[in-house]
A and B are shown apart, each in its own frame.
Chain A
Amino acid sequence: MKHEGLPSTPISFYASAKEALANTQLRRNMGKATQTIRAKRASVVSEMPDWEALREAGRAIKERTLRHLDDYLLQLETAVQAAGGHVHWARDAREANQIVTRIVQGHGAREVVKVKSLTTDEIGLNAALAAVGITATETDLAELIIQLAGESSSHILVPAIHKNRAEIRELFMRTLGVSDLSDEPKALAAVARAHLRRKFLSAPVAISGANFAVAETGTVCIVESEGNGRMCLTLPPVLISIMGIEKVIPTWQDFEVFLQLLPRSSTGERMNPYTSLWTGVAPGDGPQEFHLVLLDNGRSGVLADTIGRQTLNCIRCSACLNICPVYERTGGHAYQSVYPGPIGAILTPQLVGVDVAGSLPYASSLCGACYEVCPVKINIPEVLVHMRARVVRKKQAGLLSRLDPENVGMQALGRMFESPLLYEQAQRLARLGQWPLVRGDAISFLPPPLGGWTAMRDLFPVADQTFREWWAARNKT
C-alpha cells in the first residue's frame, strides 16, 4: 500500500485495514515492534516522579502558545531574521513546495539531502522536487529504507516499522548494490552509512523539518538518534527547514519541559543521542544560508475549532501509535495518510475534511490508551467523537446521504429510546422477531449491516424475561 502525503480522494479505513490485517508478517512485525517500544517507554516514564506534572505543563504551554500563535510566530520571524536567516510563509502545500523549489533551483542544485521529513511528506515535497529534476535523498535510516523500497511511511517516528531486518537486508542488496550482507542491524546500518556519507559530502542543500522553534531567540531544534541530522544541518552550505506553524514555543524555559517529555514518549529514551539547535547563520560555521518555511496547510482551520485545536499540541512523539491496539494490528498504511494512528485519525480529517477522511475517526474502539500516554494530554477520544459528529452532520445535510441505513437506524433507535413505551414494545417485538435466527441459546447469523458482528461472534438473544418484566412480576407478588 502506498499513500502520498495527505489523502486527496475519499479513503476507506475499513477496506485498507481488512487488507493489512490479512498480512501475517506485518502483524508479527508490528506486534513485536510496538510491544518493545511500549515497554521501553513505560520503564523510562516510571522513573519520573513528576511525569503527570510535566504532561500538564506541556499541555498548558501548548495551549497558551496556540492562543497567541500569531504573536509568537511574528516574534520567531523577527528573531530568525535578526540572526541572519530568511523566513517564508506558506499557506498550503503548493506554496511551500514552490518556495523550496525556488531556493534549491536558485543554487543550481540537482541534489538535496533530507532529515526529519514528516512535514515535507505531508506536502509531497519529494515529488515536487523530482518534477523539476531535483533528487532528494532521505537520510534517516528508516526514511531511506522506505524511499529505496518505493513505499510510504507507516509510522511517525519509525517509518519502516512494518519491515523486519530480513526484509531490509534483501532491499539493500537489491538497491544499494551490495552483496554478501548479513541481517545484523550493525551490518545494515554500515551499508546505509557508507551510502549516505557520499550524499552528505556532495549535496549543496539540506532540507529538514523541525521539532521546536523558540520564538524568543529564533532557535530551531531537531532531536534525532542517528547523527544524520547533525550531518544535514552542518555540512551543506544551504539549509531549508520546514515547520508547521504549531511547532513554535515561546521560550527556552518551555523547551526544558518538552525535552523531558519527547524522548521518553517517543523512543523510550531518557535523552535522545543528538539534539541540534541553531540560530540563523554563523560565519564560518555550518550553513551560510538558512531558510525557515512556516507552513499552515489547514492548521489555522484546526485552530479555529475549540475542541479540535488540542490536536495542534502534538509534538509527533508517536506514543499514541505505539500504544494503540488498532494501530498495532493494522499498521500505519491502513490510515492512508502521512499521519497514521490515533493522532492521524484526528489530524488527517481536520486537515483534509471529513468528505475525504471521514472513515478515520471511526478507526478506534475509543479505548483511551492514547490519551493516557500523550505527553501533551491531547484528549484523542474526545476529538475522535467530535470528528464523528462532524461526519454525521455532513451526512444529514445531504438529501440522499440522509437515507443512509445507519442514519435511518439511529433516528429510529433514538425515537424508541425516548419513549419507555416504545422501548418495551421493541423489546417484545425483537423477542418475537428473533426466533428464525436463534439457534439453541444464541444467534450465529445476522444479515448486513450487522453481519460483521456474527462473522466471528455469537450474539445472545433478547431474554425470555427482561429485567423490567422480572421486576414487575416480583413486585406483583
Chain B
Amino acid sequence: MQIALFITCFNDTIFPQTGRAMVQLLERLGHRVEFPTAQTCCGQIHFNTGYQREAIPLVRHFVATFARYQVIVAPSASCVGMVREFYARVAEVSGDRRLAADVAALVPRVFELSEFLVHKLGVEDVGAYYPHRVTYHPTCHSLRVLHLGDAPLRLLRKVRGIDLVELPNAEQCCGFGGTFAVKNADTSMAMLGDKLRCVLDTRAEVCAAADNSCLMHIGGALHRQRAGVRAIHLAEILAATE
C-alpha cells in the first residue's frame, strides 16, 4: 500500500526518531512510504487556543498537501483528532464551501498509526521485539476523540519480550492540554504529579503513548526528576526488532 506520512510538526522538529520508526515499521510490513515535504502544522495549536481564523490557512495548506494521497497516517492521535473532529468546523468558520467539501473528502483518509494497523490493516503482531517493562498511557485524544479503544494495547501485547504492566487510573488526563500546560502551568503540574506517581508505581522503565505531545510533558518531568523512566512513542516500540 502507498502510505503518505503525516509526521506532525513537533515530531518532525523534536522527535524525529518517532518518524523514522514509522518508516521502518511500515516498510517492514511491506508498504511504500512517502513524505510530502510541504507539510507543516495541522493548526491544532491555533484552533484549540481560540485562534480559529489563523487556523484556516493551515487547514487549507494541509488539504493542498495531502489531497492527492489515498492513505495518510500519523503517529499522533491528537493531530488526527484535530483533522477528523475539527477541520469541518474550521472550514465552516472560513465560510468557504469548497474548503468544506475538500475537508469532507480528505478526512476519511487520515488515520492514526495504531488504528490504521489494527482496524484498517487487521494487523496486531508487527514482528516487534522489545525486552523492557512498559506501561501504556492512553492519551485523552486517543481515548475520547478518536476512540482508539484497546488498539494500541493489542499491538503492544503481541510484542515479543515486552513486560506490559497496567497503568493505574490510566484514563485520567496527564495535564498537558497544549497551551494549557503553559497558561495554567500550576494546575497542569498538579495533574502531572499524580500521573507520574501512577507511572512510577508500575515500576516500568518505559511509559508509552500514541502522542508525543503528552509524552513530551510526562517525559519532560521524568527527565527533570531523573526518575529512571523514559517516555517513548508506541511507534518506536513497534519498530524495534531483535
Interface residues of A (CB under 8 A from B): 13-14, 17-18, 21, 27, 325-326, 329-330, 361-369, 371-372, 382, 385, 387-392, 406, 410-411, 413-414, 416-420, 423, 427, 430, 442, 444, 449-450, 452-453, 455-463, 465-472
Contacts and interface: CB of A to CB of B under 8 A. Distances in A.
30 contacts: A14-B186, A21-B186, A21-B187, A325-B175, A330-B190, A361-B50, A362-B184, A365-B173, A365-B178, A365-B188, A367-B140, A369-B172, A372-B144, A388-B48, A389-B51, A406-B49, A417-B61, A420-B39, A420-B40, A442-B223, A449-B182, A452-B188, A458-B221, A459-B216, A460-B219, A463-B16, A465-B16, A467-B11, A467-B13, A467-B19
B12 A366 contact: no
> Which 9 residue pairs are nearest across A and B when measured between Cβ atoms?
A365-B177, A452-B185, A388-B50, A457-B220, A367-B173, A368-B144, A392-B50, A467-B19, A467-B16
B173 to A, nearest CB: 4
Contacts of A423: 9, 40-41
Contacts of A372: 144
A468 B20 CA distance: 10
Given A13-B184, A456-B224, A467-B35, 8 more contacts: A325-B191, A330-B187, A365-B191, A388-B50, A417-B58, A420-B40, A450-B182, A452-B183
Contacts of A453: 181-182, 185, 220
A410 B191 contact: no
B51 A392 contact: yes
A465 B13 CA distance: 8
B52 interface: yes
Nearest to B20: A470
B136 interface: no
B153 interface: no
B130 interface: no
A392 B178 CA distance: 16
Nearest to B140: A367
Contacts of B111: none
A414 B52 CA distance: 11
A329 B185 CA distance: 13
Contacts of B48: 366, 385, 388
Contacts of A388: 48-50
B216 A460 contact: yes
B11 A460 contact: no
Contacts of A385: 47-48, 50, 86
Interface in B7-60: 7, 9, 11-16, 19-20, 35, 37-41, 43, 45-52, 54-55, 57-58
A13 B190 CA distance: 15
B180 A364 contact: yes
A389 B189 CA distance: 25
A420 B175 contact: no
A417 B51 CA distance: 14
A462 B47 contact: no
A427 B40 CA distance: 11
Contacts of A325: 172-173, 175, 191
Contacts of B210: none
Most buried by A among B19, B40, B221: B40
A382 B43 CA distance: 16
B12 A466 contact: yes
Residue from the set B47, B57, B173, B217 with the largest chain A CB neighbour count within 10 Å: B173
Given A367-B140, A368-B140, A418-B61, A14 B13 contact: no
B73 interface: no
Contacts of A369: 140, 144, 171-173
Contacts of A470: 16, 19-20
Contacts of A17: 184, 186-187
B41 A417 contact: yes
Contacts of A416: 40
A468 B54 contact: no
Nearest to A17: B187
Nearest to A462: B13
A465 B16 CA distance: 7
Given A330-B187, A413-B46, A463-B13, A456 B221 contact: yes
A465 B17 CA distance: 10
Given A385-B47, A385-B50, A418-B61, A14 B183 contact: yes
Contacts of A14: 183-184, 186
A362 B58 CA distance: 22
Nearest to B217: A457
Interface in B146-193: 171-173, 175-192
**Which of B50, B51, B173, B186 counts the most chain A CB atoms within 10 A?**
B50
Interface in B84-127: 86, 89
Nearest to A392: B50
Contacts of A391: 50
